[in-house]
Amino acid sequence: MTQTFTTPAVKFLEKREKDHFIDGQWRASLSGETIQTFSPGDGQLLAALARGRKEDIEAAVAVARRTFEGSWCKLTPHDRYTLMLKVADVIEKNFEELSLLDTLDMGAPLTRTRAMKKGLLQTITYFAAQAMNWGGMSVPNSLPGSFTTFTLKAPIGVVGSITPWNAPLVSMWWTMGGILATGCTGVIKPSEEASLSTLRTAELLVEAGVPPGVINVVTGLGAEAGAALSSHMDVDRIMFTGSTATGREIIRSSATNMKRVNVELGGKSPDIVFADADLDKAVPGAAMGVFNNSGQICSAGTRVFVERGIQEEFVARFAEFTKEIRVAHPLDPQAQLGPVVSRRQMERVLDYVTIGKEEGAQLCAGGERIGGELAEGYFVAPTVFANANNDMRIAREEIFGPVATIIPFDSVDEGLKLANDTEYGLGGAVWTSNLSKAMKFVHTVKAGKLWVNCYGHQDQAMGFSGTKQSGYGMKGGAAHIEGFLYEKSVCINND
């Protein structure tokens, strides 16, 4: 059954067949094939996406290259700055539509996607400011004679980006912001699970005055369109957010032309709770560090390490808090959590629940698919396992769903050792009233972004990265912009 939308905020859905957006125009796949996408809130057909393949990627990259070598990269920094301010205005005026598209497409409650407005606009304006904040430098030299030496920076060229489905509204801007601020062009391949807000944003950019061909969007499967983009000989940089396994393939593909790579990959982040923590803050903070966005965040603190002396109390309060979380249809204004993105993802999460039980962990809350009025959607009850150990699969493998694994420890050194006992290194947090413990955590735990007595807060100016098998390359901050530029060293003979 196909759902009908009449609200003005989703006029974009009136055309069920969603083409690629290339050179400022809607284009069907050259093969004519499509992919169906379903709303995770009720399992109903939402739209049919164009199924991009190698030939569609080649067409989009050719447009991006032609646009880059045209007048676009010659805009002054101030031109790009003022253009991005116009973009911010257009995004703000159309934000209600974009947030609803994201909610329908990937299942996050509308209250959550609407709450992203301030942060999204701050991200766009931050990158606008960066358009006038990069450049080279003069360098003193020791050459005999009279020479002037300096460096300058230039846009790298065509950027390919493969974006995830867990937060399209924000994720696309790590690429778009850098492209618009530096004078690059790009081809974005959004996840087939959630492409609609990216397509609509690309259309809005043209309405805001961004020249056609600067931002192009090709939809399709990762193994087809994504693979073609990551290996394309005329793409100068690739950005990817997703699984570590796919990230390895992206890195291998980049060797075709030595393209630069930025990869944000999987995570199994530690969240350490010491006995001196304020549990009134630590319990809800650690819980939502796992369950926020239905657990579909790469840096989610899914391994919750609790000092043994407070283990029993913490588990009881954590389970009680979890059971009170309101899981509802994403359009329900009272919803705190929505479904996971797809039936496949729901089945994956439920498989891990079975694995946790078989491994001997204690199931304290959740652990089942939610039925009743939500039976047609992809809803998994927030799940808590306690009395687990760090060798269990539920403690070592990324589940990417609302599943918390609580593990006891006995000393500061043991807690930090367990925190680092993972192949990942994306995020982590500590809850303590002791400054010495907090700083020891900060200096010891191997992860790209850390929190103390909070979880998940993010500032565009700070940026973040990963280490170990969570990837590499900064997102946000001045280092983010550097990834879209290359540097030239210049030596001038003054005689």
Annotated catalytic residue 264: yes
Single-letter residue type at 378: Y
Judge whether 178 and 159 are in contact, CB under 8 Å. yes
- Closest by CA to 326, choosing from 400, 382, 406, 404, is 382
Two structure tokens written together for 106: 């990937």
Decide if 158 contacts 68 (C-beta within 8 A): yes
Cα separations in angstroms, 441 against 266, 408, 428, 429, 474: 21, 17, 9, 8, 22
Q: Hey, what are 443's tokens?
A: 């200096």
Which is the catalytic residue, given 298, 307, 364, 398? Answer: 298
The beta-strand segments (E) located in 81-199 are: 137-138, 147-155, 158-162, 185-189
CA-nearest of 164, 174, 180 to 120 is: 174
Given the residues 192, 193, 264, 307, the one annotated as active site: 264
73 annotated active-site: no
In Å, how far are 81, 263, 379, 464, 466 from 476, measured between CA atoms?
17, 13, 32, 7, 13
Phi, psi for residue 304 in degrees, rounded to 5: -100, 105
Question: For 399-430, b where at least 16 C-beta lie within 10 A, e where not — what string?
Answer: bbbbbbbbbbbeebeebbebbeebebbbbbbb
Cβ proximity of 74 and 185 under 8 Å:
no
Helices (H) and strands (E) in the chain, counts: 16, 21
Cβ proximity of 235 and 256 under 8 Å: no
Cα–Cα distance for residue pair 57/270, rounded to 1 Å: 38
**Which amino acid is residue 384, in one-letter code?**
V
Residue 297 is given by DSSP the state -
Contact 159, 93 (CB under 8 A): no
Planar angle of CA 406, 410, 415, nearest 5 degrees: 65
Q: Which residues neighbour 408 within 8 Å (Cβ) at sequence distance 6 or greater?
A: 305, 306, 307, 308, 311, 387
Q: Are strands 158-162 and 403-409 parallel, antiparallel or unpaired?
A: unpaired
Contacts of 327 (CB under 8 A, 6+ apart): 335, 336, 337, 338, 370, 374, 379, 381, 382
Contacts of 216 (CB under 8 A, 6+ apart): 20, 21, 22, 23, 60, 63, 64, 185, 186, 187, 188, 202
Catalytic residue numbers read 264, 298
